[in-house]
Structure 1
């Protein structure tokens, strides 16, 4: 079983952009709604020229079960158009090396325009990470910053207090 261990942070400024070494467009949609007794999310993602289907446990926190499999891009495009629940998430992902980790900075577009979230994957939950100056409030424990939540309640729908982290 695969286990994803990551922390999420809001991004405070754009000083990270000078450090970015890769930029990839993402389009992803969810095939399962959050409502009801759902234990996992099923996501289809087109990442640049590749596509995959991903299944994650719906735990909020540092680690979750995760399974991911490659699929044809044409299949992913059709699934996003015909099977996705809620809006498709559009974002540009940048990779930034800081300390001994590669951070993923997601700059959202469309219904989530204005939101920028940094994620860092770790080998264990107690691993120490160097904190960059552009990493702001930690939102690992806040479900609304997870992509599946953003597909049901997009950032553009949030009020000003929600956007400030309250």
Structure 2
């Protein structure tokens, strides 16, 4: 069974940029809508992702938090592009930057389009209680805030957030 243990953070500075080892542009869309997941009508999100000349279908449990079920399968690029164009209500576009720090690799997602200006760092861990050293550029944790999940950024993008949402005061 696939389990993802992941924490999400905002960033306190751009200092991470000098530590990027590689970057990859990604486009992803959802076959199960955020409304269905949020309302409880769906127990999982189903994502299609294209990165370069590769593509995947990803299924994650709809629960919020650090630990979730996750399954990912490679799919033909042409199939993924068709799914994105015909069956998804919108897409999230980002560049994922990989940043190593103290034995861990952070994935820093820099969003574009309607989510331009949003930058979120993710860290996958081996256990819920695994400790890690926080780099100076890592800011407030937002793992439990649904608005930062890519699924929700399709229908409620960063450009539409209120000032309170951007400051985490809602």
Q: Which residue of 2 aligns with 1:161?
A: 164
Q: What is the aligned length?
A: 165
Q: Which residue of 1 aligns with 2:154?
A: 151
Matches within 5 A, 1:1-166: 1-35=1-35, 36=39, 37-85=41-89, 87-166=90-169
Q: CA offsets, 1:124-144, max 9 Å, x none?
A: 000001001111010001011
The TM-score with structure 2 as length reference comes to 0.95
State the alpha-carbon separation in 2 of the partners of residues 34 and 7 from structure 1. Answer: 20
Q: Which runs of 4+ in 1 moved over 4 A?
A: none
CA RMSD of aligned residues (A): 0.8
More strand by share: 1
The TM-score with structure 1 as length reference comes to 0.97
Q: CA offsets, 1:22-62, max 9 Å, x none?
A: 10000000001122411100000001221000000011000
Q: Which runs of 5+ in 2 are unaligned?
A: none
Superposed displacement of residue 11, structure 1: 1.1
